[in-house]
A = this chain, B = another copy of it.
Amino acid sequence: METQFSEKQINILEVAEELIAKKGFEGTSVREISNKAKINVAMISYYFGSKEKMMGSLYQYRVKKTRENFLEFSEIIKNGNPEMQMKEIVKFIIKQLFKFSYFHGFVTQELRAGDNLKIELTNFYKITTNKLEELVEKGVTTGVFTHTPKSEDLLTLILGSALFVIRNKNFYQQFVPHQSEADYLKEAEKKVCTSVLLSIFATLGYHQAS
């Protein structure tokens, strides 16, 4: 069983996540976090040991949530045919990325601290690639897919495209009609999702089952 966080800790983590995503780990001071979370500045060291360890906890917290969500979602759709499952999984992953774009926008960059954290993330990737691999195989077996790209490359395509859009708003927003920030994210997600699905299914050599 892993560490459980108290409500107060989770509150701190979520405030920290938002600030760190905006301003980077080093660019965010514990005073800022404690002000926004309306707690004493000493609390962060008190609860997590240090700022770096708080970062580790944040990491752990978010990855764990994401993994749980992924497994749960996989379970729900497990009875569908492989092409439907593939589509839903791609949509799900991209949705999660946009939902926690705060987190995913910075996370790969700031990994200096614990190697165990890197492992944890890698494990999560493992689960995902395994699932993708399974679906590709099934699809080939049932004849809807004709190619067998490597699952790590599929995942790279999905995560890479979505993260690029999240991080490069300045570039991508000129192609996305939108009225507000929130609006943009919704529309950008839709657009990148469509585009990624197109590429993934083309890469898989998808053709409708006869």
CB 8 Å contact bits of A2-28 with B (1 = contact, 0 = none)? 000000000000000000000111110
* A141 at the B interface (CB under 8 A): no
* A134 at the B interface (CB under 8 A): no
Please state the number of chain copies in the assembly: 4
- A3 and B26 CA atoms in complex are apart in Å by 30
* A110 at the B interface (CB under 8 A): yes
A34 to chain B, nearest CB (A): 16
* A73 at the B interface (CB under 8 A): no
Q: In the complex, which residues of chain B have a beta carbon less than 8 angstroms from the beta carbon of A147?
A: 202
- A101 and B105 CA atoms in complex are apart in Å by 17
Which chain A residues (116-169) contact chain B, with CB distance < 8 Å? 118, 121-122, 125, 147, 149-150, 152-153, 156-157, 159-165, 167-168
Query: How many A residues have CB within 8 A of the partner chain?
Result: 47
Q: Which residues of A are in contact with B by a Cβ distance under 8 Å?
A: 23-27, 105-106, 108-112, 118, 121-122, 125, 147, 149-150, 152-153, 156-157, 159-165, 167-168, 170-172, 174-175, 191-192, 195-196, 198-200, 202-203, 205
13 CB-based A-B contacts, threshold 8 Å: A23-B26, A23-B112, A121-B170, A122-B170, A156-B164, A156-B195, A159-B164, A160-B161, A163-B164, A198-B203, A199-B199, A199-B200, A203-B203
